[in-house]
Amino acid sequence: MAHGDFAWNELMTSDMEAAKTFYGGLLGWEAKAWPMPDGGTYWLWRRGERDLGGAFKMEGPQFQGTPPQWMVYVTVDDCDAACARICELGGKVMQPPFDVPDVGRIAMVADPAGAAFGIMTPLARD
């Protein structure tokens, strides 16, 4: 993926079972469980052997008042540098860059009008 490409789509939902039924029935997606190190489960949306995106159940006080939603991630060459540039351009870093094992470096940001999106620098793949 190149700088500026949409890289990943992720559903944050309060009802994972209903989401699996809905998106499976509507789009033919399968949800494959991916156990997380903290004991939770992340779900990969798949069609055949292709990963299309992910999903997780919003659990915990940090999600109180947050409606279910889709989050898009855009590829950047350097997540940390992109966060600095976002601020220079009037945007906001909502969650500073952090590393996701086997995925890459991610940050949650917003444009000057407040539209949220994620940025990521994927790990290099052979």
Question: pLDDT, tens digit, for every residue of 59-110?
Answer: 989 888 989 999 999 999 999 999 999 999 999 999 999 999 889 999 999 9
- Give domain limits for the chain: 1-67, 76-126
Question: pLDDT, tens digit, for every residue of 4-49?
Answer: 999 999 999 999 999 999 999 999 999 999 998 878 899 999 999 9
- The pTM (predicted TM-score) of the whole model is 0.83
How far CA 28 is from CA of 23, 46, 69, 71, 109, in Å, comes to 7, 9, 20, 20, 31
1-67 architecture in CATH? Roll (3.10)
Do 1-67 and 76-126 have matching folds? Answer: yes
CATH annotation of 76-126: 3.10.180.10
Q: Residue 126: its pLDDT value, please? A: 62
Q: Residue 62: its pLDDT value, please? A: 87
Core vs surface per residue 87-106: b (16+ CB within 10 A) or e: eeeebebeeebeeeeeebbb
Q: Residue 1: its pLDDT value, please? A: 82
DSSP string, 48-82: TTEEEEEEEE--SGGGTTPPPEEEEEEE-S-HHHH
3-state secondary structure (DSSP) of residue 5: coil
* Residue with token string 């699996």: 20
Q: Which burial class, exposed, middle or buried, applies to 26 when counting CB atoms under 10 A from its CB (0-12, 13-18, 19+)?
A: exposed
Q: Residue 37: its pLDDT value, please? A: 84
Q: How far is CA 20 from the centre of its chain?
A: 17
Cβ(112)–Cβ(104) under 8 Å?
A: no
